[in-house]
Structure 1
Amino acid sequence: MTEGAPNAVQVSDRFHLWQGLSKRVGDVAAAHRGCLTAAVPEPEPALPPSPAAPPDQADTPARRHAKNLFEAVHAVTDTGCSINAAAHQLGLNRRTVRKYARAATWQECVRAHCRELDRTHGLVRQFAAMLDARDAAPLADWLEQLATSRLPALASLAKAIREDQPAVVQGITTPFNSGVNEGRITDLKLQKRIMAGRAGVPLLRHRVILMALLRRRFP
């Protein structure tokens, strides 16, 4: 690349940076899935049900119960009811009520039960802040936190990013991305699926060229 385009600047795509981080976060969550169950107490019969919500692909009994606890506790404590009174009214342990009452979200209660998940959440928020501000100054320190996190998934991500760090810095600080290329690839795959078994390469070629022309005229 440097020989063919010596003035070109390599830029890592922000979408793929997020995708790589998301995969590693998923690995961390899978490795500590026991914390998710342990963080949520067993359902108690006195707990009022929460309003029905649309189904979620990531929905689980533990997640639903945590959300129900959070909503039920805040429905009582947000009216000014004390922790003791709320615990008595809901039939819950006082410590459980206090934990959920002090939390801003139900996920916060789960993270508080697992230092690894809480640390991972903080690192994700730091990376999001870098992208939002287009500021790569904290990147080196962030990578060091990943490398020393004692979480293999995050440590391997730090190693991968360091191997291509200049391009990652460009991806964070510049407006360039591979969105246009990804769109063209999607167009090509779409035409291939539409034409599969129906026509030969010449017609497919004409359709691809026509699609590219239309994209230029009507972006």
Structure 2
Amino acid sequence: MCYSVAYLEKKLVKLAERYKEVVKVDLTIEDTARELPLYYFVSGFSFPELPVITAENISLFQWGLIPSWAKDEQYASKIRTQTLNAVGETVFEKPSFRNAVRKHRGLLPVNGFFEWKDVNKVKYPYFISLKEKDIFSLGCIYDTWIDKTTGETKQTFSIITTPANNLLSEIHNTKKRMPLIIHQQDEAQWIDSSLSEKKIAGLTKPFPDKEMKAHTVSREINNPKNNRNLPFAIEAIAY
């Protein structure tokens, strides 16, 4: 599964430049100076806001998908703890995800993500990224929920997961899952709302491990009481 990521591009204008072949963003003068949240480490269980690329724009979405039909805030708060990830093999069947995966697919830009290896019941964290790209895209789905009591609108997302490739099977050796990574040449296709279910399923595959790299990092990130949003979170440590 994927519950923790790193996102390190503060400038909206630079993010728009990276995704200019995917979505055209008309930036205002104010936008050129706008800064986005920066995370060396962030857990989905804190329900952070992260930039998501859709077919229309780049917007901040909250991690933890709340389906549009959620009846009230109490239900919304409960279900989002269960929707940080969406299993790719069943995403078309689950009520929380089946509408979103057909029409509301997005790209979550990250610099890397974290998984843990179990060695004799001791958890060792790894930072995983791509060899040739600083920023890459995780495949996500999103939805918009309106709180009928307050009128507040929330845009939320879930990261799709696939079976682990060889590298992630070795690291994430209990669950053997990994986030869906979208090849750069497939990014525009992934967010196309007219894409058929067959083609969506065809893109929902494990990423080649030969294009990935991983290293162990400090076990200090295992403790949520620590301030983990610091450079040490992604720095290599040997065990």
When Rg is computed on C-alpha atoms for both structures, the one with the higher figure is: 1
Q: TM-score scaled by structure 1?
A: 0.18
TM-score by length of 2: 0.17
Greater length-normalized contact order (CA 8 Å, ≥ 6 residues apart) = 1
Give the number of the structure whose residues are more often strand, by fraction: 2
Q: Which has the higher helix share?
A: 1
